[in-house]
Structure 1
Amino acid sequence: MLTLVSHHLCPYVQRASIALDEKGVRFELTYIDLKAKPDWFLKISPLGKVPLLQVPQQSGETVLFESSVIAEYVEESQAGPKLHPEDALERARHRGWMEFGSSILSDLWGFETAQDRETYEQKRQAVAGKLATMEAALGEGPYFAGTQFSLVDAVFAPIFRYFDLFDTLADHGIFDGLDRVGAWRKALAERPSVKAAVTPDYGERLMTFLREHDAYLLRAGQA
């Protein structure tokens, strides 16, 4: 059986988990503490990051790293519904938007770990601006490619999940005027694979993370 090496809060792990689940692939999860990475993990992870996908073979085991690589492998090697378009040009377009989603995660990291108002506001505007770009790129929905769930959706679902907590902490306004993005967010949140990609205590763990980083977000609602 495939094994996905994970961390409870990692959005990149979530996208791999969602892809596996959408393809109907059975897999095991192994969680590690990224603050105290075990030796066995460091030996098989070239970048020292999650996710990893351990793929058993007759000759031993192959370990894949990087979430986009894992998602592509799952799409190409497993049965189940297609998560990429058949057309080469459209497939390339989807890959571009997946990378765009990764750039939002970089800004989102700055947003959630900002310790002062200025940095918080800079990152808030960066995330809002990129989601406004997505608003213009979306069609009628409910998913990125219409009625067909795709790997682009698997990338954006973990982004939107952050705001299930963030919305309760501050009136950040990131989704203001983004009706299509808001509807997309809602549709993804209802997807079983998205719900299953985190443990029930995800929100508590994320709140602990914010406290450990003295996040301005915790005080933004009082400003």
Structure 2
Amino acid sequence: MSTKHLKKGDAQPAPPEGGKLRLYSMAFCPYSHRARLALAAKGVPFDIVNINLLDKPDWLTSVQPQGKVPALDAGGGQIVIESLDIADFLDGKFPEPPLWPADADTKARHKKLIDDFGKVTKIFYEAVYGKEKRPLGEYLEEIVAALQPFEDELVAGGNTFFGGTRPGMLDYMIWPWAERAKVPSIINKHEMNFPKDKFPKLLAWRDAMKEEAAVKAQAVDTERHARFSSAYVDGTLDYDSV
């Protein structure tokens, strides 16, 4: 996956050819990662324009007035923003394979779990980017509590994935942080000893997700994620040399 990021002074790319969708992204952004996973899972032809978010090109606001990523150019002047809205849009426009469960109750439960996963992302960002560092054990204790409902959901479902026999919306929407799970340990130079015996289903899910084609196609190495986060924290970030 290309990680070249366009910045101020770079020309706006020509429209994509052949009816492709275009995703304005950032290679290390987990929310852009969500959108890339949804596109890859649908098998939709698309191209990626990565944006340097510290030095944005002037033309970006003509695409997305807030200058945010991810932003999906769906053609015909339609721009979809926010990772969950992009994934929902794609699931409606390209029905196969479906990402949401067909059962209404399961879908509602999975939507709530995606919303609740915000507790995990909040702890993750505090552990990586927070100015007032706490002992990693405190972050770990909070993450373990926040992840318990996800272990319980996999146990209740009886399948490898939240989506059943293959990944679905919940799987893809939480995966970006699973891919980055080792970053707090690397950044803080201290291992977070995740209690493996407490989460056998989630650990099996993690291993299975790593083998999925969409996940492999959009993966970034853990060490690169850590280098990005470290450089962001210490103010030395150069997107294209991470």
User: Which amino acid letter does the alignment assign opposite residue 81 of structure 2?
Assistant: F
Contact kept in structure 1, 2:182 and 2:222, CA below 8 Å: no
Q: Is the 8 A contact 1:175 1:181 kept in 2?
A: no
* Comparing 164-173 and 77-86, the one that deviates more: 164-173
Q: Which runs of 4+ in 1 moved over 6 A?
A: none
* Residue pairs, 1:55-134, within 5 angstroms: 55-57=74-76, 61-115=77-131, 117-118=133-134, 120-134=136-150
- TM superposition shift of 1:198: 3.7
Q: Could you report, residue by residue, the CA deviation over 1:25-55 in whole angstroms, capped at 9, with x for unpaired residues?
A: 1100000011112222233334432110001
CA contact (8 A) 1:22 1:80 kept: no
Question: Comparing 24-33 with 45-54, which one deviates more in the overlay?
Answer: 45-54
Match of 2:40 among 11, 15, 21: 21
Does residue 43 (structure 1) correspond to residue 62 (structure 2)? The answer is yes
Worse-superposed segment, 44-53 or 161-170: 161-170
Q: Tell me the distance in 2 between the aligned counterparts of 1:42 and 1:106.
A: 28
The 3 A distance-change label for structure 1 pair 37 and 125 is farther
Q: Does 1:138 align with 2:154?
A: yes
SS at match of 2:87: helix
Contact 2:180/2:225 (8 A) holds in 1: no
Aligned to 1:181, which of 198, 202, 211? 202
Tell me which residue corresponds to 2:14. Answer: none
SS in 2 for 1:31: strand
Q: Which residue of 2 aligns with 1:157?
A: 175
Select the residue among 198, 206, 210 that pairs with 2:226. Answer: 206
Question: Deviation digits for residues 55-113 of structure 1, max 9, x if unmatched?
Answer: 112xxx21110000000010011142111112222222221112122332222111112
Secondary structure, counterpart of 1:39 in structure 2: coil
Listed as ranges, the gaps of 5+ residues in structure 1 are 215-223
| Shift in CA distance, 186/79, structure 1 to aligned 2, threshold 3 Å | same
Residues 132, 143 of structure 1: alpha-carbon distance in 2 compared, 3 angstrom cutoff: same
- C-alpha change, 1:47 and 1:191, in structure 2 (3 Å) is same
- Structure 2 distance, partners of 1:126, 1:41, is 38
Name the structure 1 match of 2:51. Answer: 32
CA offsets, 1:99-136, max 9 Å, x none? 12233222211111235542644433322221123212
Structure 1 CA distance for aligned equivalents of residues 195 and 58 of structure 2? 42
Q: If the length of structure 2 is used for normalisation, what is the TM-score? A: 0.77
Structure with bigger RCO (C-alpha 8 Å, 6+ apart) = 1
Distance in structure 2 (CA, Å) of the matches to 1:38 and 1:86: 41
Which ranges in structure 2 are unaligned for 5 or more consecutive residues?
1-19, 235-242
Instruction: Tell me the matched-pair count.
Output: 210
